[in-house]
Amino acid sequence: MRRSLLIPVLVAWALGSPGLPVAWCQAPPQQPAMTVEEAIQALQAPLAKTRDAAAIALYEAGPQASPAVPVIIDILNREWPEVRGDLLFVLLAIGPDAREAVPVLMKVAGSADFHARYLTARVLGAIGPPARPAVPLLVNMLNDQVASVRRRAAEALGNLGPDVAPDAIRPLIHSMQDGVHAVRVEAILAVGKFGELGKAALPRLQQVATTPESSERAQAARAIWMLTQDANFVLPILTQLLNDGGLEWEPLEVIAEMGPAAQGAVPHLIRALDKDESVQIFAAAALGKIGPGAASAVPALRTLLDHPEQEVRDAAQQAMAAIEGPAQPQETAQPQETVQKTAQPQEP
C-alpha cells in the first residue's frame, strides 16, 4: 500500500486537535496550488506528488470541495482495500456535504489499516445525522484493538448524539472504563452530549469526578455539568483541581464553559492569574465568560495589561471588556453660564 505524504502525520494528529495537520502548516501555500475543478482532475494523476497536491488543495477548500465527493467515492471503491488516507482527510474537511460517501466509508471501516479506520470514524462523526446507518459499526469500533480507533469512534458517537445514536449510550458508558486514558476521556465527553439518556452515566461520572486518583476528573465534571447544570457539585471539583496544579487549563476550560454559573470560582481564578502565561490566558478567558459577576477580578486583570507577552495582554483586555461592558460615551457638560441661565425663571 502506498503511504501518502499525509499518512506520517496521521498518528500524531489523531491524538491532537482537529486543526490542520502539522505537516501542512510548515510551509502553507501563499496561493491555492489549483482550483477545486483542477484538483478533482488531478486526484487520479499518474504522479503521486500531483495527487497529494490535489488532496491538499481540496482539504483547504473545505466544504467547497464537495463536488469531489463522487470522484472520491469512485476511487475508494476501485482501490479497495488500498485506501488512500488523503482522500479521507478531504472528506473530513468537507463534512456534512460528504453524506453520499457513508456507504463506502462503512466499507473502508473494515480496512486492516488502522489509519483508515480511525479516519473513517472521524469522517462519519463530521458528516452528522446522515451517518445514522453507520452507528452499529461505530459502536463495534469501540472495541477495536487500536486505541486511536476506539477514541475516534467514541468522538463520532458523541457528535451524532442521542437523536441519531441512542443505542450507543451503554457502550459509551462501558468505554469510560477503557484501559487507555484518551479513550476514557472521549467516552466521558461523548456521554455528556446525550442529554436525558446520558444521565444513566451519572453514577460512574460522579465516581470518576470525585476519585483523587482519577486522571479524568475535569472531563467528568464537564460531562456532569452538561447533563445536570449542577454548579454546586461541579465547581468544588474544578477549583480543587485548579488549586492542586498540574493541568490547570482543563478545569479552566470547564469553568469558562459554565459562564456566569461559575461565579463562585472567581477568587480561585484571581489567584490563577499569578501563574504562568498559559494559565493566565485560560483564567482570563474564564473570567470574561463569567462576565459582570467577576468584577472583583478587574484589578488583577489590569496588572496584566503590562505583561511582556502580547497574548496575555490581549486576554486580560478582552476579559475586562466582557466584565465591564463597552465603554459608555461621556456626556458633554453644559457650560455653567447656560445652566444658570436656564435655571432662571422667565421675566413676565
pLDDT in tens, 312-323: 999 999 999 999
**Contact yes or no for 180/148 (Cβ under 8 A):** no
Is residue 241, in this structure, part of any structural domain at all? yes
Among candidate residues 238, 236, 233, the one with its CA nearest the CA of residue 252: 238
- Domain range enclosing 267: 229-325
Give the DSSP H or E segment for 313. Answer: helix 310-324
The confidence score (pLDDT) of residue 11 equals: 33
Is residue 309, in this structure, part of any structural domain at all? yes
Residue with cell 469512485: 74
d(CA 194, CA 223): 10
Query: Which residues, at least 6 apart from 41, have a Cβ–Cβ distance to it below 8 Å?
Result: 54
The parts of the chain modelled with pLDDT lower than 70 are 1-33, 326-348
d(CA 182, CA 194): 19
| Neighbour-count burial of 278, counting CB atoms closer than 10 A to its CB (0-12 exposed, 13-18 middle, 19+ buried) | middle
The confidence score (pLDDT) of residue 305 equals: 96
Largest CA distance in the chain: 104
d(CA 216, CA 239): 15
Helix (H, G, I), strand (E, B) or coil at 112: coil
d(CA 135, CA 112): 20
Is residue 113, in this structure, part of any structural domain at all? no
Number of domains in the chain: 1
Is residue 122, in this structure, part of any structural domain at all? no
Query: Which residues, at least 6 apart from 115, have a Cβ–Cβ distance to it below 8 Å?
Result: 7, 10, 11, 85
Is residue 192, in this structure, part of any structural domain at all? no
Is residue 318, in this structure, part of any structural domain at all? yes
Is residue 269, in this structure, part of any structural domain at all? yes
CATH code assigned at 279: 1.25.10.10
The confidence score (pLDDT) of residue 32 equals: 53
Residue-by-residue DSSP string for 168-207: GHHHHHHHTT-SSHHHHHHHHHHHTTSHHHHGGGHHHHHH
**The three three-digit cell numbers of residue 35, written as one number:** 482550483
Give the DSSP H or E segment for 249. Answer: helix 249-258
Is residue 303, in this structure, part of any structural domain at all? yes
